[in-house]
Amino acid sequence: MIGPALLFLILPSQLLGDHGNHFGPYHWFSYRIDVNRDGLLNARELCSAITEELRNLRTRPVSDDTCKDFEEKFDMDGNNKIDPRELNSLYLKFHHLLSVFMQGDLDGYGLMKFGYFAEFALPRLGLSLNRMNQMILNTVKIGHGFSNLSLDKFMQLVLNI
């Protein structure tokens, strides 16, 4: 198993395309992804780009809801599409969140332990539970505690704070 520190060192080289793949934000505008060839990514195209990126990194996919959260957060002009300028910010945030998650204290199922999320991951992102909307936090509540977080749930929580 690759340790979190080693994964952090490997990830940037993968993003540079050392393995013959074309990684990077502008790869997300490829003809396979930007199906209508308008130079913008709609919600479906953005989700395809994110899914392909995670597949290339051998990571579990995220839900359509998470893709939509990225679109809503980074669509600055409100046209329901991501342009190249918006994509650059989205791509950097996506990989920052992915890096924070992968470096986390994960259980045997690849889920981030909730205690680690609250005590370490959120502060690394400049966030805290104090600022977290209680309704959002309640989505991971089980009994008297909280469930561990998948990559998908982690990204949804952080994007909606």
The 8-class DSSP code of residue 141 comes to E
What's the residue count for the chain?
161
Residue 132's pLDDT band (boundaries 50, 70, 90)? low
Q: Within 82-133, where are the H helices?
A: 84-102, 114-116, 122-124
Residue 127's pLDDT band (boundaries 50, 70, 90)? confident
**Has this prediction a pTM greater than 0.95?**
no
